[in-house]
Homo-oligomer: A and B are copies of this chain.
Amino acid sequence: MNISQAAKQAGLTSKALRYYESVSLVIPGRNPNGYREYSPAEVETLRFIQRARSSGFSVEEVGELLQLYRNPARRSHDAKLLVREKIEQVEEQLRNLKEMRSNLRALADACAGDDSPHCAILDQLAGGESR
């Protein structure tokens, strides 16, 4: 299968597939004309990558997941550990974003939002009172 077909099957772009090859995640064979030829198994691996990426794993972490996927002597404990670490990272990002949001809400609430130049948002960013 050609690169663009494989990309479509996996919900990715051709560029992403070339990138994943460059970082040794999926290295397809080549036709005599030099075109990449993706086997059905490689397309499955690409779908694996797409799902793992959209669950928040970095490309490097996807590489670790793929190593487990390809290793018949794996222990499911190791996969679960990766997922739990990712959950904790996501939760930290959630905490950070929630703090930003409450911060922003306080700014917005303090500002009249009218045609006057007086603005509590700019005042607070400038002076930092009651932050």
Q: Residues of A at under 8 Å CB distance from B? A: 44, 47-48, 51-52, 54-56, 65, 68-69, 71-77, 79-81, 83-84, 86-87, 90-91, 93-94, 97-98, 100-101, 103-105, 107-108, 111-122, 124-126, 128, 131
B contact residues around A115 at 8 Å (CB): 75-77
> Contact at B83–A107, with CB atoms within 8 Å?
yes
Q: Binding site of A, secondary structure by majority: helix, strand, loop or mixed?
A: helix
Q: Is the Cβ of B114 less than 8 Å from the Cβ of A52?
A: no
Q: Which residues of B contact A100 (CB under 8 A)?
A: 54-56, 90
Question: How many whole Å from A120's CB to the nearest CB in chain B?
Answer: 8
**Given A94-B94, A105-B87: A122 and B79 within 8 A (CB)?**
yes
